[in-house]
């Protein structure tokens, strides 16, 4: 779209217009779609950022491809690289970011229709977003089980294994001996049913916020396409991604997402509340 393309719903393509749209009460069902970029400020590397991303730092693990570390077929042959990496991502060591807290604030104000996250770091829950409003599309580190017999593996023992980068085996011992893996979705694995069940909620949304994702992993990457025409989509990301910016009411806020979110909070008059919620976590 060009600068002179007329908008359908917003006064203009700007964060100020998005804020007006929200404060006027027209946005009551906001959907949010997030990726690793909302957690980088917490100290968790993303996949694809050049130099700082996990993929840029996997050379030492001697993998055929960086993606192999999250590939089920590769994991069955060589689970060690995953456990070396798991230490960098493991929940409990990180504090939610302003972006997480902003989503939590939307929920507190009754405006969050659904959050779809690709992240596995559990920071959405840590920020206080009600679990029933979260779809963890790629699972999470919250639970783990044997990949053969599916027997759950205790959380405290998992934490010890991850801390030592040691591969855990099924608690049934010699009887099974299968590898244990957190319930995060690897390549070659199906997404949770909840993702498919809740995807339809997007068609009743009146605003979509897309934050910190390269939109490269399918089927998640297609979620912004389900936002109905005329419903504004706002991208908070370092770079332009997916088809964002091609519809009349798309707003691109390119830069780091915490800065973008603070800007929106200023326009909404929520800034003080946001910072307080973040400090008090
Ligand atoms: P990605 O492909 O690494 O893309 C991250 C995107 O965020 C890129 O477009 C970056 O430019 C952008 N970005 C990075 N930092 C910021 C920032 N501060 N502000 C705004 N934008 C930023 O990650 P995706 O989530 O898109 O890819 C999907 C994978 C990554 C999922 O399967 C996740 O499970 C996986 N992942 C998750 C985590 C986590 O849980 N925190 C960490 C690393 C990877």
Residue that the structure tokens 């829950």 belong to = 125
Per DSSP, what are the bridge partners of residue 187?
Answer: 71
Residue 162 Cβ < 6 Å to ligand 1? no
Residue 46 is predicted with a pLDDT of: 87
Any known ligand binding at 120? Answer: yes
Higher pLDDT, 17 or 84: 17
**How much is the pLDDT for 149?**
96
pLDDT band at 3 (very low <50, low <70, confident <90, very high): confident
Higher pLDDT among residues 68 and 105, named by residue: 105
ipTM: 0.98
Q: How far is the CA of 173 from the centre of ligand 1 (A)?
A: 36
The pLDDT score that the predictor gives to residue 122 is: 92
Query: Ligand 1: distance of its center to the CA of 205 in Å?
Result: 24
Amino acid 55: pLDDT: 78
Instruction: State if residue 121 touches ligand 1 by the CB under 6 angstroms criterion.
Output: yes
Read off the pTM: 0.95
Q: Identify the H or E element spanning 197.
A: helix 193-199
Measured in angstroms, how far is the CA atom of residue 241 from the centroid of ligand 1? 12
Supply the pLDDT for residue 237: 98
Q: Are 73 and 97 in contact (CB under 8 A)?
A: no
Q: Is the dihedral of CA 19, 32, 110, 43 positive or negative?
A: negative
Which residues form the catalytic set? Answer: 138
pLDDT at position 37, please?
A: 97
Q: Is the pLDDT of residue 50 over 90?
A: no
Check residues 50 and 239 and name the one with the higher pLDDT: 239
- Of 33, 34, 35, the one to substitute when testing ligand 1's pocket (max ligand atoms within 8 A of C-beta) is 35
- Atom number in ligand 1 closest to CA 44: 41
pLDDT attached to residue 1: 79
User: Is the pLDDT score of 56 beyond 80?
Assistant: no
Looking at residue 61, what is its pLDDT?
Answer: 76
Write down the pLDDT at residue 58: 76
User: How many C-alpha atoms does 41 have within 13 Å on its Cβ side?
Assistant: 17
Instruction: Judge whether 39 is annotated as a binding position.
Output: yes
pLDDT on residue 89: 81
């Amino acid at each position: 779209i060009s600068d002179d393309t007329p908008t359908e719903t917003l006064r203009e393509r700007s964060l100020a217009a998005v804020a007006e749209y929200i404060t006027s009460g027209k946005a009551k069902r906001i959907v949010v779609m997030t990726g690793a970029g909302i957690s980088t400020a917490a100290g968790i590397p993303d996949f694809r950022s050049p130099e700082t991303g996990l993929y840029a730092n996997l050379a030492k693990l001697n993998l055929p491809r960086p993606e192999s570390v999250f590939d089920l077929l590769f994991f069955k042959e060589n689970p060690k690289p995953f456990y070396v990496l798991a230490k960098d991502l493991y929940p409990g060591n990180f504090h939610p970011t302003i972006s997480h807290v902003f989503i939590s604030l939307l929920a507190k104000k009754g405006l969050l229709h659904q959050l779809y996250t690709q992240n596995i770091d559990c920071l959405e829950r840590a920020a206080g977003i009600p679990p029933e409003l979260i779809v963890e599309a790629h699972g999470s580190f919250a639970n783990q089980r044997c990949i053969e017999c599916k027997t759950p593996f205790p959380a405290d023992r998992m934490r010890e294994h991850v801390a030592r980068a040691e591969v855990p085996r099924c608690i049934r011992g010699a009887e099974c001996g299968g590898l244990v893996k957190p319930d995060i979705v690897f390549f070659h694995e199906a997404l949770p049913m909840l993702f498919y069940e809740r995807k339809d909620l997007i068609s009743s949304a009146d605003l979509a916020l897309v934050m910190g994702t390269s939109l490269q992993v399918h089927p998640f990457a297609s979620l912004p396409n389900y936002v109905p025409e005329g419903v504004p989509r706002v991208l908070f990301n370092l770079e332009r991604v997916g088809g964002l910016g091609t519809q009349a009411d798309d707003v691109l806020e390119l830069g780091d997402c915490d800065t973008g979110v603070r800007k929106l909070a200023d326009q909404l008059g929520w800034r003080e509340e946001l910072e307080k919620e973040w400090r008090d976590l």
